[in-house]
Amino acid sequence: MSLDAGEAIGRSKGLPLAVQLLLALLAGAVYPLAFAPFDLIPLLGVSVALLLWLLLRAPAHGALLAWVFGLGKYAVGVSWIYVSIHQYGGAPPLLAFALVAVFVAFLALFCLPIGCIVGAMQRSPRNFSPLSLSMVFVAAWVLMEWLLTWLLTGFPWLFAGHAMLSTPLQGYAPVFGVLGVSLLVVACCAAGLLLLRGRLALYKRGMALLFVLAVFALGGLLDTRTWVEPVGRYSAALVQANIDQAVKWNADQRMVNVRKHLQLSQAHWDADLLVWPEFALTLYGDDAKQVTDQLQQQGQAQQTNIIIGMPDLHWLDQNSYQLFNSAQGFGLATGRFAKHHLVPFGDYVPLQDYLRGVIEFFDLPMSAASRGARQQDNIRLQLPGLEQSTEVAMGICYEIAYGDMLRRHAISSGVLLTISNDTWFGGSIGPHQHMQIARMRALENGRWLLRATNNGISAVVNERGEVQAKLPQSEAAVLRSEFAVVSGTTPYTTFGDWPVFALALIMLLTALSPLGHSRQG
């Protein structure tokens, strides 16, 4: 092995595997506490460094330790899924717990590449230094997060970079995106661990410290950089109707829901943009057309752009149809956008021939949605003072977590908009994490972001990812605020994640080269 007992970082004698697994579980469990709503950011450093320390001292159990770390990470971090399965899905507590446990165990598998790669390098006959192993650890972490953006539909949640909002490292987001911020923060955690290595030469400690200081200093400088220019400021009214999820889709409540949205909108037809959240309208066919015709006429009369969330039904023939989760423009706004990244069991049911009817959770309303096209035109707004219409980059509900998708739509847009319904998650930590992710999208693309939800968190976020205005959760109200339309693009909007992949590849090649074989670290 490349690291014997004298070389491993902080290696102690006689630490049983059970204790190592417990430490890995605890490291994973404290990791989500760095994210909203807790924002205990230093715990992310403790969590990541502890995982690396465990992997460096137990090469034979790297995969198991990484998976157990993932168990702790997701058991705490996505515990809010229990609310949707039990409270709104009708599953008994024991069954809901079992379903969440299966989901957590599955997500934890994405951590396996970290333990497998680092463990395999230590078991090889080549003598890789702790520095080389740390570099591979960082690259493997980025690989894990990248896989979470697409593999098996993906679940891009709890990325290390998301927790770096309001820190100097957020300055890298418009340049490298959230994956780049993750790479840098995990690299700083690894460098911090190397600083604690007992046998590390003094000058190498100095280099590790200098690296961390340089990363934070450059991030702070980049955070002062202006990437885009505003071309106009406009008023927005975001309707948060706080409709009870238990009755939202009931046939006798659908017009009641419409009237509530109309009542809340009554005093805000003078806004440049009026937004209703995801599935604010739950009507189909002629009933839906009557409402949208009214919105179209009202919007035209008041010279207002209107965007609402609603089902979009397309008949293929007399016996078959496609149903889309969509956002549609009325009044001065034109176009429609169909949700592309669908939520398993929320928007569609995998293996539905076997699962439909087993429990209420597998028969949730709108769980038979079709996937919108990957390439779609943006919705357009007609705003005063602008010669041409302005495009809106849309993200419906949790697909705001897919940074590359929103980046592609943001290239030609002047503002970002996301509509959502986080009612499924009650008063849990889920909506706060969702809001944090949305803020990262604004920062990455240098665009103001408007977020309209059924029961919160509805907010307006500026191009720096800072919340300018928001509504309390579980309150029926309208958020009236201003937003800016901007021109220009950030480096991330232009180039996407390719620079991060290149940097991760360079790290891997450097670690695997002869330079990485020194036993002196």
Please tell me the number of Cα atoms within 13 Å of 98 on its side-chain side: 5
Q: Could you say which architecture CATH assigns to the domain 230-341+373-489?
A: 4-Layer Sandwich (3.60)
Rounding to the nearest 10 degrees, give the CA dihedral for residues 454, 457, 461, 465.
Answer: -140
Give the integer Cα–Cα distance in Å for 313 and 325: 9
357 Ramachandran zone, left/alpha/beta (phi>0; psi -120 to 50): left
Q: How far is CA 240 from CA 66, 141, 247, 474, in A?
A: 41, 37, 16, 9
> How many residues are listed for the chain in this entry?
521
Nearest Cα residue to 277 out of 316, 245, 230: 245
Q: ∠393-446-36 over CA atoms, to 5°? A: 90
367/347 Cα distance (integer angstroms):
4
pTM of the predicted structure, to 2 decimals: 0.93
Tokens of 79: 């515990």
Beta bridge partners of 415: 392
What phi and psi values does residue 54 have, to the nearest 5 degrees?
-65, -40
Query: What are the backbone dihedrals phi and psi of residue 482, each rounded to the nearest 5 degrees, phi first?
Result: -105, 155
Three-state DSSP at 439 gives: helix
Give residue limits of the domains in the chain.
17-225+497-517, 230-341+373-489
Residues paired with residue 326 on neighbouring β-strands, in sequence order: 310, 338
**What average pLDDT values come out for the chain (521 residues) when binned by 10 residues?**
40 74 98 98 98 93 97 96 82 89 95 94 87 95 96 93 98 98 98 82 85 98 97 97 88 94 97 97 93 97 97 84 93 96 66 54 64 93 92 96 96 97 90 97 98 96 98 97 97 97 94 67 44
List residues with catalytic annotation.
278, 339, 397
Place of tokens 């499924």: 424
What pLDDT shows up at residue 127? Answer: 84
Rounded distance between C-alpha atoms, residue 155 and residue 417, angstroms: 20
At position 34, the amino acid (one-letter code) is: A
d(C-alpha 372, C-alpha 341), whole Å: 8
Give the model's pLDDT for residue 340: 92
State yes or no: cis peptide before 350, omega within 30 of 0: no
pLDDT tens profile 185-208: 999 999 999 888 767 777 788 889
Determine the 3-state secondary structure of 481 from DSSP.
strand
The secondary structure element, H or E, covering residue 29 is helix 17-30
Digit-coded pLDDT (tens) for 401-453: 999 999 999 999 999 999 999 988 888 999 999 999 999 999 999 999 999 99
Residue 13 is predicted with a pLDDT of 43
CB atoms under 10 Å from CB of 214, counted, come to: 10
Report pLDDT digits (tens) over 381-395: 999 999 889 999 999
Candidates 348, 356, 361, 344; CA nearest to 92 is 361
